[in-house]
């Protein structure tokens, strides 16, 4: 079984770098061999949503919506990423948030 862990928190809440430091957790989970992949995501203000063939800014509008899966894609820029997202079958009835990774 595999799991996706969505790390959620309020962006407005300020925490110290020590509190927010994921390194000890990563070290432990990797030492035990349970962590396959993971990355920090940019804030929701950097997200784009495509819905019913349209492009809008921001994250999912309806909080009712649950994340049902994820794909990691590598593209030249946001326009290419949007093109790929629009081709996904879910884009016609659900929505897909295109969320950039922080650079390495």
Partner 1 sequence: MSGADVTRVVEEAFREEWGRVVATLIRLTGDWDLAEECAQDAFAQAIARWPRDGVPRRPGAWLTTAARNRALDRLRRGTTEAARLRSVAAMPAGPDPEPVEEDVEEDVEEDHVPDDRLRLMFTCCHPALPLEAQVALTLRTLAGLTTAQIAAAFMVPETTMAQRLVRAKKKIRNAGIPYGVPPAHLLAERTAGVLGVLYVLFTEGYSASGGPSPARPELTAEAIRLARVLAGLMPGEPEAQGLLALMLLQDSRRVARFDAAGDIVTLEFQDRAQWDHDEIEEGLRLLDDALACRRPGPYQVQAAIAACHATALDPDDTDWPQIAGLYARLARLAPSPVVELNRAVAVAMADGPLAGLRLVDELRAGGALAGHHLLAATRADLLRRLGRTADAAQAYEEALALAPTDAERRYLARRRAETGGT
| Residue ranges binding partner 1 (CB under 8 A) | 42, 45-48, 55-58, 75-79, 81-82, 98, 100, 102
Among 50, 73, 72, smallest CA distance to 60 is for 50
Using the minimum distance from each CB to partner 1, give the nearer residue, 29 or 41: 41
53 DSSP 8-state letter: T
Using the minimum distance from each CB to partner 1, give the nearer residue, 38 or 58: 58
In the complex, what is the shortest distance from the CB of residue 61 to partner 1, in angstroms, rounded to a whole number?
A: 13
In the complex, what is the shortest distance from the CB of residue 42 to partner 1, in angstroms, rounded to a whole number?
A: 5
Q: Which residue has the tokens 């035990």?
A: 32
Round to whole Å and give the CA distance between 81 and 63: 23
């Amino acid at each position: 079984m595999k799991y996706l862990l969505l790390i959620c928190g309020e962006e407005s809440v300020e925490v110290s770098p020590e509190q927010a430091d994921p390194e000890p957790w990563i070290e432990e989970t990797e030492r035990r061999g349970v962590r396959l992949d993971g990355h920090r995501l940019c804030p929701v203000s950097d997200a784009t949503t495509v819905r019913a063939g349209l492009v809008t800014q921001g994250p999912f509008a309806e909080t009712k919506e649950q994340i049902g899966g994820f794909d990691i894609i590598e593209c030249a820029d946001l326009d290419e990423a949007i093109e790929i997202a629009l081709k996904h079958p879910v884009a016609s009835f659900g929505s897909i948030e295109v969320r950039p990774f922080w650079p390495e």
